[in-house]
Amino acid sequence: MGIKQIIAIASAKGGVGKSTVCANLALHFSKSFNVGILDADIYGPNQHILFDLLNEKPEVQMLDGKKTFIPVKIGNISINSMGFILDSDKAAMWRGPMLSGAIKQLKDLTQWGDLDYLFIDMPPGTGDAYLTIAKDIKPNFAILVTSMSILAVNDTIKSKVMFDRLKIPLLGLIDNMSYSICPHTDERINEFDLINLQQEIGLDVLGSIPRDKDLTNFNSKKIHPSFQSIYNNVLNLL
Ligand SMILES: Nc1ncnc2c1ncn2[C@@H]1O[C@H](COP(=O)(O)OP(=O)(O)OP(=O)(O)O)[C@@H](O)[C@H]1O
Ligand SMILES: [Mg+2]
């Protein structure tokens, strides 16, 4: 069977919540499916930190003379990340081609087993990592994460153009951290002037996630309620 579908969680803008969305969506999907996470952010891998796996390492197994990795399992999620394998200070100095090679190897040399969905936590930007992933990993779909900040919207438009050029279908946008909920009145507090993201970026909005301390402190044992409708919307499109 192998990997049925690969979904990249992306945005050109840094810090908009790609890794947080990737971890939460994967967690939600793992309740009904076999799921994998490939942390492709070689310069700043985060998934091993989010899932509290700082002391874990994927087991190395020789297969047909090649070094392969058994991903770290947490519940129904198989995770592999450069964060397990690499000294992050060294990776920070890598040039583009080394970076691209590393992402491809991480994907190819991991024994993922049978997965329904492999989620890729993409680095920020639009450079080498994106070209490698489009050419060598060939995601079936991508989801863009943005907020209503005009800077994020601008970068997300660039991401859309790039994915269109790379011919990777976009499932839509996830609007993250554009508002928070007042703990006293349950009122919605907008962080930015409201923007019609669908109109501005030209993609459907799969859902909006508030800025919430429970999301900053990701808990791999608890599904955050704001991901329920996003999970349903994404599943309907796959
Ligand atoms: N909805 C949210 N509510 C509260 N905190 C959030 C939310 N989404 C993300 N964060 C926090 O915002 C910061 C940036 O999120 P995250 O690392 O997921 O973004 P990113 O797009 O993956 O960043 P990078 O571009 O560096 O990879 C983190 O501290 C994270 O915990
Ligand atoms: Mg990230």
**Domains of the chain, first to last:** 3-237 (3.40.50.300)
Point out the ligand 1 atom lying closest to the alpha carbon of residue 16.
21
Residues with CB under 5 A from ligand 2 (ion): 18-19, 46
Q: Is the CB of 14 under 6 A from ligand 1?
A: yes
How many other C-beta atoms can be found within 10 angstroms of the C-beta atom of residue 46? 18
Instruction: Say if residue 13 carries a ligand binding annotation.
Output: yes
Cα gap 6→115, rounded to integer Å: 9
The answer to whether 16 and 128 have CB atoms below 8 angstroms apart is no
Q: What is the pLDDT along the chain (238 residues), one digit of tens a residue?
A: 799 999 999 999 999 999 999 999 999 999 999 999 999 988 889 999 999 999 999 999 999 998 899 999 999 999 999 888 877 666 666 666 677 788 888 999 999 999 999 999 999 987 778 888 888 899 999 999 999 999 999 999 999 999 999 999 999 999 999 999 999 999 999 999 999 999 999 999 999 999 999 999 999 999 999 999 999 999 999 9
**How many Cα neighbours within 13 Å face the side chain of 34?**
13
Q: Is the pTM of this model over 0.75?
A: yes
Q: What is the pLDDT of residue 42?
A: 83
Nearest partner of 22 among 8, 32, 11, judged by Cα: 8
Q: Is the CB of 212 under 6 A from ligand 1?
A: yes
Q: Is the CB of 17 under 6 A from ligand 1?
A: yes
Closest residue by Cα to atom 18, ligand 1, is 17
3-state secondary structure 59-96: EEEEECCEEEEECEEECCEEEEEHHHHCCHHHHCCCCH
Q: Mutate which of 19, 39, 151 to test ligand 1's pocket (most atoms within 8 Å of Cβ)?
A: 19
Place of tokens 């599904």: 223
> Residue 44 Cα, ligand 1 centroid: separation in angstroms?
12
Q: What is the pLDDT of residue 50?
A: 96
Place of tokens 């491809």: 104
Closest residue by Cα to atom 30, ligand 1, is 216
Q: What is the pLDDT of residue 91?
A: 63
Q: What is the pLDDT of residue 218?
A: 95
Q: What is the pLDDT of residue 1?
A: 77
Q: Mutate which of 13, 20, 24 to test ligand 1's pocket (most atoms within 8 Å of Cβ)?
A: 20
Q: What is the pLDDT of residue 92?
A: 62
**How many Cα neighbours within 13 Å face the side chain of 125?**
14
